[in-house]
RNA sequence: GCCGGGGUAGGGUAGGCGGUCAUCCUACGGGACUGUGGAUCCUGUGACUCGGGUUCGAAUCUCGGCCCCGGCCCCA
């Protein structure tokens, strides 16, 4: 083969595309039921937009380039930054809260593996300018509903409030740099690793009391009842109380939204400063090492980009992983044949009439295919068979002399003579 | 960036201790067969990922590239 696909990219063929469209429509429906409107932003942006959000280091993982006027650009690695930019550019005076969603591909220069590609699709939303616990509650509820409607039955939602651990850092006077380092370790969710990092030979922070609390906290994963344990552990540290209150309220709100199947998990962490409140992730364990299908939280990116301080909550689904998850749960929709009726001219002199018959069917939204390559009789049926159509309309001169055609049910093999004028009604009745 | 397993017609595969024509299924073309024939039979086109090395001879052994699969790292 002369040309190959670029590494980490995929071609999608008919069946897979139909399954993906179906999932896409399901998500659109859910998001729009919650009052979200779709937006679309460019596939590429100024490189600066992404480095401002995530630091210079991400250039390693970007597809960036200079255009012919020497502008530094990059293919977007995610959409949240673009949405914040769009908000500042066009929507800062729009009545809040603003609810928008997006679907599109993103690009990252990474080593491809299962559930990870260089071009991949994200389906996400942003809720801009809502009050915290209720906005977060609704957003999580929407994510939860999406997962359920897609047929993903084994998903786990993990929620954390970064204010708790941040409050502890503040209380113990830990600087930003060290806090971030600890966060990174906490995020790995490995207790032994954390113990080594805090109490090993070269501890990141030299504080026994904080280390002990963190080591207990990281184990606190469980349903909403675990909140009491967390509260008992950190209530004495004043800096944590706002976060505790917010988390408490979120739990109450989620209950009202009828979301009960989540975990509180202090191990869901983020190193970046713009996260201000809750963060959450959704895992589908069957997917192995790339099991995270969704990530989200509350952040003030807009301020970071030079706008006013408007807090948003949002999340993004890794669309490709959602498809994997649906498959893992055995709930991929079976694809229907893409054509319902095949019109087969079996004599040369009935070809033109066949086109007319096909057009009439198409006018009534019946998916119809007609022979375009002058196939012989046997090939006509064989082709129709491979298409998986329900009916083949055999148009031959002997029948046409009596103003009739033969309609064959391809599943049963049963066929009957039908008046040309009655083709439409016959097919509509039997389809 | 690191570790492992792979790559054979359009799709799916067999073979591989070096040696006739590289296997089978499917799809595609022709025929038995100008309208009952979606079957069956016959037949045709079509492939050893790319490049170097060893060898009289490489799909097979060897090295490297590219790509795929899985695992680590990372994950905005």
Asked if residues A279 and A296 have their Cβ atoms less than 8 Å apart, the reply is yes
Rounded, the Å distance between the CA of A373 and C1' of B37 is 18
pLDDT at A33: 98
Within A34-131, where are the H helices? 47-54, 80-86
Say whether the CB atom of A402 is under 7 angstroms from strand B: no
Say whether the CB atom of A382 is under 7 angstroms from strand B: yes
Model pLDDT for residues A387-430, shown as the tens digit of each residue: 888 999 999 988 999 999 999 998 888 899 999 999 999 999 98
Which pair of tokens denotes residue A32? Answer: 């729009």
Which pair of tokens denotes residue A337? Answer: 């044949």
Phi and psi angles of residue A387, each rounded to the nearest 5 degrees, phi first: -65, -25
Domain positions in chain A: 14-328, 341-430
A2 confidence band (pLDDT: 50, 70, 90):
low
The fold adopted by the segment(s) A14-328 is: BirA Bifunctional Protein; domain 2 (3.30.930)
Q: Which nucleotide is nearest to A412 (CA to C1')?
A: B38
pLDDT at A1: 41
| CATH label, A341-430, candidates 3.40.50.800, 3.90.1150.50, 3.30.300.30, 3.90.180.10 | 3.40.50.800
Task: Of A148, A103, A41, give the one whose Cα is nearest residue A320.
Answer: A103
- The CA distance from A216 to A202, in Å, is 20
- Residues of chain A (78-97) having a beta carbon less than 7 angstroms from strand B: 78, 80
Rounded, the Å distance between the CA of A271 and C1' of B15 is 54
Say whether the CB atom of A394 is under 7 angstroms from strand B: yes
Model pLDDT for residues A293-339, shown as the tens digit of each residue: 999 999 999 999 999 999 999 999 999 999 999 998 989 888 777 88
Which pair of tokens denotes residue A371? Answer: 């022979």
Q: How many CA atoms lie within 13 A of A316 on its CB side?
A: 18
Rounded, the Å distance between the CA of A20 and C1' of B13 is 29
Q: Same fold for the domain at A14-328 and the one at A341-430?
A: no
Q: Which nucleotides of B are covered by protein (CB under 7 A)?
A: 1-2, 27-40, 49, 66-76
Rounded, the Å distance between the CA of A384 and C1' of B38 is 8
């Amino acid at each position: 083969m002369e040309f190959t696909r670029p590494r980490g990219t995929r071609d999608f063929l008919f069946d897979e595309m139909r399954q993906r469209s179906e999932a896409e429509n399901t998500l659109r429906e859910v998001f729009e039921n919650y009052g979200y409107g779709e937006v679309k932003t460019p596939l590429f942006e100024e490189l600066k937009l992404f480095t401002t959000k995530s630091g210079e280091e991400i250039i390693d993982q970007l597809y960036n380039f200079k255009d012919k006027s020497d502008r530094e650009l990059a293919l977007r690695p995610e959409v949240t930054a673009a949405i914040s930019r769009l908000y500042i550019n066009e929507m800062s005076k729009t009545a809040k809260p603003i609810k928008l969603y997006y679907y599109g591909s993103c690009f990252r220069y990474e080593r491809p593996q299962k559930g990870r590609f260089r071009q991949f699709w994200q389906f996400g939303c942003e809720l801009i300018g809502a009050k915290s616990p209720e906005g977060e509650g609704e957003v999580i509820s929407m994510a939860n509903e999406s997962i359920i409607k897609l047929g993903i039955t084994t998903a786990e939602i993990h929620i954390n409030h970064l204010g708790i651990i941040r409050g502890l850092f503040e209380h113990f006077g830990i600087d930003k740099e060290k806090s971030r380092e600890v966060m990174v370790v906490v995020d790995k969710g490995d207790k032994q690793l954390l113990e080594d990092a805090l109490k090993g030979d070269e501890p990141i922070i030299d504080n026994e009391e904080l280390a002990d609390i963190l080591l207990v906290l990281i184990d606190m994963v469980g349903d909403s009842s675990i909140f009491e344990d967390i509260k008992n552990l950190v209530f004495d540290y004043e800096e944590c109380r706002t976060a505790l209150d917010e988390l408490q309220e979120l739990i109450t709100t989620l209950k009202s939204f009828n979301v009960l199947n989540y975990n509180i998990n202090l191990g869901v962490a983020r190193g970046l400063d713009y996260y201000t409140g809750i963060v959450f992730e959704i895992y589908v364990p069957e997917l192995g090492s790339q099991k995270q299908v969704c990530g989200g939280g509350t952040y003030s990116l807009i301020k970071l980009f030079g706008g006013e301080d408007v807090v948003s909550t949002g999340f993004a689904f890794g669309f490709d992983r959602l498809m994997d998850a649906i498959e893992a749960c055995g709930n991929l929709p079976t694809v229907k044949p893409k054509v319902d009726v095949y019109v087969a001219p079996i004599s040369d002199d009935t070809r033109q009439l066949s086109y007319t018959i096909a057009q009439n069917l198409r006018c009534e939204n019946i998916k119809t295919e007609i022979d375009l390559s002058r196939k012989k009789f046997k090939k006509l049926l064989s082709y129709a068979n491979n298409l998986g159509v329900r009916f083949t309309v055999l148009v031959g001169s002997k029948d046409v002399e009596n103003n009739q055609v033969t309609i064959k049910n391809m599943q049963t093999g049963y066929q009957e003579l039908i008046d040309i004028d009655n083709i439409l009604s016959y097919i509509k009745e039997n389809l």
